[in-house]
């Protein structure tokens, strides 16, 4: 079997970011496609870097005239996609590679400029560059979920959300690293590490963690490597990396965005969502990827709006009742100080702050974990059954196959942590117990927690710190989240919208504030976040691309 691969030779960062190869001869500079065996695509995806000067020079020469013409055709606009995308590629080259690189981008395209030229004036995005988490299928590259077991997974298809993105003028700039299998393989993992991409680093302090599982998407946006990125979340995987990397992250209501051709964990909780520098950009990107999908029935009943950016620029917090989750602020005095400053900004903008003392029923978390394990086994099997046969003939078709692969390749896959959750999921087969757990989790998280708080306190939104500052990455000992901070789990379990917006920093490490709304109140939550963003007085830190120090 052969796979069609774009005519350009993209740059890839592979396992450990240490394997480098070159080409023996230049590629032909022709506007066509180059056909490579799937095995060659796999070799590129897991180990090749090519930033050949000859290719860059040829591309520039070939593209200069049409791009200059396209610039003249654009006319006066607020956003110059062609100029912007070139800067983004340069940022990737400057900050992603090498011993101090952040390792956020697994693959990127050198034809992005051509794509931006073609997309100028198209749809909502008009040629804006978007990086995509590597558990979402795009036709250009394999989709690995960070695992060597899927290194051959070049499906040559776009997930529906990516098809929507392209129709709306989005340019897929590349793929981002992630916590392998979206952090569902083992309970002692290190966020941001995958066997395919190595460890993603936080650009604000490269010895600090980027959180996960959308680690590369959050770090890349903080580093200026794309206009926007797409992450996915089951519980915290958009909002945590957005918070610790100092960017905006939005987990929409489950059902706004299709999950078809996205490597799954849980149909109950999974969703994709935008990660950007501003709330406006997040709303714009959400509108570009949202939509119905007959293959994903939950999308058919979703409540959407035509334009998620409408009203963001002038929405006011005056008279808005905001619920403050006082027991979810953790024990850090420095974090609480930053949070109190954010609350003072909202109060100064006219918001009515309502203190809420509430502890959720912890049975919700235990039942949710049962749901994740049961759905992982079933839905991973369905996903793997849908992918084309690998050229090697070793195509995994079940969770059991993935477990066996990890055992056979333990040196590469399980040096730092095991696969205890995979093993538990494979043994979670009681459907009656699953259905009871799912009903309990949804009832507790939705009606008995979020809906109750909105109704009893008459608030429009709930706020809390999203997460504490980034911890030191430690592959040997795993993650150290640093205490019980945030209130994102009920929103994740119930499928309600959750927005995080930068609110300042602790010792130059970013921290975010969460805005949680009712089911389908996505637009209202975005408007609240945009209003806070305008009212914010805190100084936000810039990435240092250095190790953290006390100086």
Instruction: Identify which of 337, 335, 134, 96 has the alpha carbon closest to the alpha carbon of residue 229.
Output: 134
Instruction: Identify which of 43, 42, 53, 48 has the alpha carbon closest to the alpha carbon of residue 17.
Output: 48
Please, what is the Cα angle at 182 between 408 and 273, to 5 degrees? 155
Structure tokens given for 109: 């395209």
Of the residues 147, 213, 243, 489, only one is catalytic, namely: 213
Q: If you count them, how many residues does the chain have?
A: 551
Angle of helix 112-119 versus helix 53-74 axis, rounded to 10? 10
Active site residue 373: no
Contact between residue 277 and residue 248 where contact means Cβ atoms under 8 Å apart:
yes
Active site residue 237: yes
- 227 burial class (0-12, 13-18, 19+ CB within 10 angstroms)? buried
Instruction: Identify which of 194, 212, 193, 185 has the alpha carbon closest to the alpha carbon of residue 144.
Output: 194
Q: What is the DSSP letter of 262?
A: B
Alpha helices in 75-214, H assignment, sequence order: 81-95, 112-119, 160-167
Of the residues 109, 115, 126, 133, only one is catalytic, namely: 133
For every residue of 441-495, DSSP letters joined together read HHHHHIIIIIIHHHHHHT-SEEEEE---PPPBP-TTT-----SS---HHHHHHHT
The set of residues, in sequence order, having a beta carbon less than 8 Å from that of 18 and lying 6+ positions away, is none
Active site residue 519: no
* Residue 230 Cα distances to 31, 162, 256, 362, 513, angstroms: 28, 10, 14, 30, 20
The set of residues, in sequence order, having a beta carbon less than 8 Å from that of 40 and lying 6+ positions away, is 5
Of the residues 179, 194, 237, 266, only one is catalytic, namely: 237
User: Which residues are designated catalytic?
Assistant: 133, 213, 237
């Amino acid at each position: 079997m052969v796979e069609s691969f774009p005519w350009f030779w993209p740059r890839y960062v592979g396992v450990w970011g240490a394997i480098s190869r070159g080409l023996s001869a230049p590629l032909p500079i022709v506007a066509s496609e180059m056909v490579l065996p799937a095995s060659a695509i796999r070799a590129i995806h897991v180990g090749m870097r090519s930033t050949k000067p000859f290719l860059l020079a040829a591309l520039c020469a070939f593209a200069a005239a049409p791009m200059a013409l396209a610039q003249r055709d654009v006319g006066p606009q607020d956003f110059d996609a062609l100029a912007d995308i070139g800067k983004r590629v340069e940022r990737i080259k400057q900050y992603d590679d090498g011993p101090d690189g952040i390792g956020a981008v697994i693959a990127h395209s050198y034809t992005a400029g051509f794509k931006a030229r073609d997309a100028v004036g198209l749809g909502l995005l008009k040629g804006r560059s978007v990086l995509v988490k590597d558990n979402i299928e795009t036709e250009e590259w394999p989709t690995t979920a960070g695992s060597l077991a899927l290194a051959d997974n070049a499906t040559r298809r776009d997930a529906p959300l990516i098809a929507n993105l392209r129709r709306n003028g989005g340019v897929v700039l590349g793929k981002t690293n992630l916590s392998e299998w979206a952090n569902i393989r083992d309970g002692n993992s290190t966020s941001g590490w995958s066997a395919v991409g190595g460890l993603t680093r936080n650009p604000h302090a490269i010895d600090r963690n980027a959180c996960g599982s959308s680690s590369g998407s959050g770090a890349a946006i903080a580093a200026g490597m794309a206009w926007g990125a797409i992450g996915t979340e089951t519980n915290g995987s958009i909002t945590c990396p957005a918070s610790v990397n100092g960017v905006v992250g939005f987990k929409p209501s489950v059902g706004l965005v299709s999950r078809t051709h996205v490597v799954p964990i849980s149909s109950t909780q999974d969703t994709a969502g935008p990660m950007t520098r501003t709330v406006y950009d997040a709303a714009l990107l959400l509108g570009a990827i949202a939509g119905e999908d007959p293959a994903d029935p939950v999308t058919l009943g979703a409540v959407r709006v035509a334009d998620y950016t409408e009203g963001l620029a002038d929405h006011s917090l005056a008279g808005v009742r905001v619920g403050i989750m006082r027991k979810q602020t953790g024990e850090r005095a420095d974090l609480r100080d930053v949070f109190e400053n954010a609350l003072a900004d909202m109060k100064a903008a006219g918001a009515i702050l309502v203190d809420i003392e509430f502890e959720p029923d912890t049975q919700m978390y235990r039942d949710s974990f049962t749901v994740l394990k049961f759905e992982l086994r079933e839905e991973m099997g369905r996903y793997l059954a849908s992918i084309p046969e690998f050229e090697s003939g070793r195509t995994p078709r079940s969770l059991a196959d993935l477990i066996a692969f990890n055992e056979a390749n333990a040196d590469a896959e399980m040096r730092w942590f095991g696969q205890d959750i995979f093993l538990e999921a494979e043994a979670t087969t009681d459907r009656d117990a699953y259905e009871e757990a799912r009903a309990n989790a949804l009832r507790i998280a939705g009606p008995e927690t979020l809906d109750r708080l909105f109704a009893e306190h008459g608030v429009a939104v709930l706020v809390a710190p999203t997460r504490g500052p980034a911890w030191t990455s430690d592959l040997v000992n795993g993650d150290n989240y640093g205490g019980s901070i945030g209130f994102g789990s009920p929103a994740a379990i119930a499928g309600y919208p959750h927005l995080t917006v930068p609110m300042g920093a602790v010792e130059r490490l970013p921290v975010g504030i969460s805005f949680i709304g009712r089911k389908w109140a996505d637009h209202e939550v975005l408007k609240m976040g945009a209003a806070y963003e305008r009212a914010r007085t805190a100084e936000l830190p810039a990435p240092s691309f250095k190790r953290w120090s006390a100086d």
